[in-house]
Structure 1
């Protein structure tokens, strides 16, 4: 009867009233250190990558073509090929060994990057990092293991914060230490530093990642308890309440079965998982597009649609963005989630894409008419502020993905999400940098076609975001 179904759903989805569980400080600190090291290594190359590609002489001296060779997408393509396997392995082998493999891969790849002298050597180093990039999904899985519904907003609020710290220090290190024989000739005058002008920032960031490897090895301890997985055939797993086996057996003894171990992959394609991952993908696509487009816009000469800034200034700007993001997260994210809910926080953050992509052509037009005036710098600050608000969407969507995943298959669901996101992040930078160059070369909409395209795509992303439920799902056992 319809009434019976409504009563059953109400029982299964009844609110949980529990005191906030304290976060395990040591294990949380280890996860946050890993989260800091990842962007520290990956984003330290952004201030000088366009200059490096230009110096390799593969553009034929045409700066308008640099965007075509911004090769960050290769990392995400190789990551997409392996991240699901690493994440599924973490469900069976544990989180710690997979985290160690990921840190080893990041250390090796960044050192190889600094020692590369050809374009294809750079490509190989980034592909190596992508293939061994196990941590991007496992970190979120480990955070889900450490938290529950009562403290998850606080736990996931830390992830963007420490990511912002790494994202601010990385560009600062990359921009400050690149070409040390030019900037600090009294300390780095040897031939080695002339032959490998970008090795120093890679050495510094690689050392931090290696330190994280040893911290995880000696201090990270994961739960060893066996997880019992309730599986209900007539209802989506997202309707089953966390940690209440007796209630489930009493309410529906004929339809609830219990089994151990990760669920088969095909059983994870349910609406809560699909809608959560889909929104994560659109957010990551737009965010990665912005991350690739911003340094390219800052580096390109004013006459071809950029601001013509040197690497050290680009590093300072990207560092400021990271600091702003971190401060905004620590001050407001958990409060926003408790007051407005995960859905509203996600949608509000995603909406910032619309003004962000509008401001790029405005900054360019002002710079062309009056140079780098105070108005341009104010608008750059607006872009950074809106980007900080945009990043609150990540914490919110992480919570949707975590709540949609059965506990025994959290690694697999996070692997699915990161595989999808890696593909989106591979397309985003390649599409944005290439479309930037294409727009400028052919003077499409005055060279500003790229921003119109991503403005429209942001609108479609918002249409998908409103499909998220008003209330987040309960944890699935």
Structure 2
């Protein structure tokens, strides 16, 4: 039997991470550049056209991504996809508008649930269908089209799903109904139709999104939790595959896929759930000391609770953001939030990896050694998010 060269494996891993970082960052930078623009288009022409254009962009550019043979081609197609795929902001506005106020939390939590399902199923599809000529040589013989483009099959599968979504979108009812009135009258109509419990008086500050403090304060809180979630996602994967001597779990990459279990709940209890998340993160380094079934069960429970807490917080922030503005500004408001989140996700993998590498160099430090420092820093960000949810800072729409 041939021996595996560990140096070769390490190089392949580094190159794989390098490729992932550039493609992920290119998409996020593209989305950050145009999220506000797509939100403004959604406010002017409707949510449905933006959703249709975004799904069509996924169909075309994701297919081209699978046909890439050079790094620059892959990065370029991901960047253009980020520029053209302005779906998420208008989708949040759409979910808020098709639901009655008492059901908005359910509608918005479905968005985070769908995103979580995609994060679980997407890598599974990629792992199962990538390099089919190597995995299934009887079906995809050497020298075939799929041998030349080893990642085209999973991309094609995702594009087909996006194509079905593109067709379905044509039957979506439009929720933005423009009235033939002045801007002042339009504001009153929007509030009468969608925000029945707010003050009908339109102050000068409410006309500007930047001067709308309920909106901007909720977006700032969203900044912090987006930064925390992105860093947590990156650090969790690195911690799970790190050797036990460094405080990790020594899992294989296939085992790590089992742990992002999707468990989504909705709610507004922002402060309470943030407080609970802090001791939960503090317990993570001690989970590495367990083994076998007990470690499996405790880690799964902790992962489920962390996901549930995070998405309960985000759902509450989504509701505040959408209710802080009248309907005709909702797309732009969500666009601002998406821009901030995309920028954090563009830099998050590099930042999380740098923090984890630095922490491993101080494995014998007397204060917060190794991974204890990593989860302490995550808790610092979480604590800042907690402080920013105080009434003195985070203003709810009146």
Q: TM-score range by the shorter chain?
A: 0.7 to 0.9
For residues 55-99 of structure 1, the C-alpha deviation after alignment (integer angstroms, 9 at most, x for no partner) is 8x9x75685995897343332222111100111111112112211
**1:161 matched residue in structure 2:** 113
For residues 240-291 of structure 1, the C-alpha deviation after alignment (integer angstroms, 9 at most, x for no partner) is 964599999xx99xx8699xxxx86x45422111111112222222122223
**1:212 matched residue in structure 2:** 165
More displaced, 299-308 or 72-81? 299-308
**Rounded Cα–Cα distance in structure 1 between residues aligned with 2:227 and 2:395:** 25
> Does the 8 Å CA contact 2:88/2:338 hold for their aligned counterparts?
yes
Task: Give the Å deviation of 1:404.
Answer: 0.4
> Does the 8 Å CA contact 1:229/1:407 hold for their aligned counterparts?
no
Task: Give the Å deviation of 1:299.
Answer: 4.0
> Does the 8 Å CA contact 2:325/2:333 hold for their aligned counterparts?
yes
**Rounded Cα–Cα distance in structure 2 between residues aligned with 1:407 and 1:301:** 51
Are residues 1:389 and 2:305 paired? Answer: no
**Rounded Cα–Cα distance in structure 1 between residues aligned with 2:202 and 2:259:** 55
More displaced, 154-163 or 77-86? 154-163
**2:258 matched residue in structure 1:** 316
Q: Provide closer, same or farther for how the CA distance between residues 244 and 210 of structure 1 changes in structure 2, counting only shifts above 3 A.
A: closer
**Rounded Cα–Cα distance in structure 1 between residues aligned with 2:394 and 2:39:** 29
Are residues 1:432 and 2:384 paired? Answer: no
Are residues 1:283 and 2:225 paired? Answer: yes
**Rounded Cα–Cα distance in structure 2 between residues aligned with 1:102 and 1:438:** 39
Are residues 1:77 and 2:29 paired? Answer: yes
Are residues 1:373 and 2:311 paired? Answer: no
More displaced, 427-436 or 135-144? 427-436
**2:239 matched residue in structure 1:** 297
> Does the 8 Å CA contact 1:354/1:458 hold for their aligned counterparts?
yes
**1:460 matched residue in structure 2:** 384
Task: Give the Å deviation of 1:401.
Answer: 0.4
Residue 225 of structure 1 aligns to a residue whose secondary structure is: coil
> Does the 8 Å CA contact 2:235/2:353 hold for their aligned counterparts?
yes
Aligned-residue Cα RMSD (Å) equals 3.9
Are residues 1:354 and 2:278 paired? Answer: yes
> Does the 8 Å CA contact 2:218/2:394 hold for their aligned counterparts?
no
Q: How many residues align?
A: 381
**Rounded Cα–Cα distance in structure 2 between residues aligned with 1:247 and 1:304:** 54
**2:80 matched residue in structure 1:** 128
**Rounded Cα–Cα distance in structure 1 between residues aligned with 2:196 and 2:17:** 62
Unaligned runs of 5+ in 1: 1-53
**1:9 matched residue in structure 2:** none
**Rounded Cα–Cα distance in structure 2 between residues aligned with 1:94 and 1:386:** 37
> Does the 8 Å CA contact 1:83/1:419 hold for their aligned counterparts?
yes
**Rounded Cα–Cα distance in structure 2 between residues aligned with 1:133 and 1:184:** 33
Residue 290 of structure 1 aligns to a residue whose secondary structure is: helix
Task: Give the Å deviation of 1:455.
Answer: 1.9
Q: Provide closer, same or farther for how the CA distance between residues 246 and 155 of structure 1 changes in structure 2, counting only shifts above 3 A.
A: closer
After the TM superposition, which residues 216-255 of structure 1 pair with which residues of structure 2 at under 5 Å, given as runs?
A: 216=169, 218-223=170-175, 225-227=177-179, 242-243=192-193
More displaced, 146-155 or 278-287? 146-155
> Does the 8 Å CA contact 2:209/2:215 hold for their aligned counterparts?
no
Task: Give the Å deviation of 1:295.
Answer: 3.0
Q: Provide closer, same or farther for how the CA distance between residues 357 and 129 of structure 1 changes in structure 2, counting only shifts above 3 A.
A: farther
Residue 408 of structure 1 aligns to a residue whose secondary structure is: helix
> Does the 8 Å CA contact 1:229/1:406 hold for their aligned counterparts?
no
> Does the 8 Å CA contact 1:67/1:434 hold for their aligned counterparts?
no
Q: Provide closer, same or farther for how the CA distance between residues 412 and 473 of structure 1 changes in structure 2, counting only shifts above 3 A.
A: same
**1:4 matched residue in structure 2:** none
Counterpart selection for 2:331 from 411, 417, 420? 411
**Rounded Cα–Cα distance in structure 1 between residues aligned with 2:80 and 2:394:** 41
Residue 70 of structure 1 aligns to a residue whose secondary structure is: helix
Residue 316 of structure 1 aligns to a residue whose secondary structure is: coil
For residues 209-257 of structure 1, the C-alpha deviation after alignment (integer angstroms, 9 at most, x for no partner) is 12111111x312204632568869xxxx99x964599999xx99xx869
Counterpart selection for 2:151 from 198, 205, 219? 198
**Rounded Cα–Cα distance in structure 2 between residues aligned with 1:408 and 1:146:** 15
Task: Give the Å deviation of 1:400.
Answer: 0.5
Q: Provide closer, same or farther for how the CA distance between residues 441 and 208 of structure 1 changes in structure 2, counting only shifts above 3 A.
A: farther
> Does the 8 Å CA contact 1:439/1:450 hold for their aligned counterparts?
yes
Q: Provide closer, same or farther for how the CA distance between residues 60 and 241 of structure 1 changes in structure 2, counting only shifts above 3 A.
A: closer
**Rounded Cα–Cα distance in structure 2 between residues aligned with 1:347 and 1:171:** 32
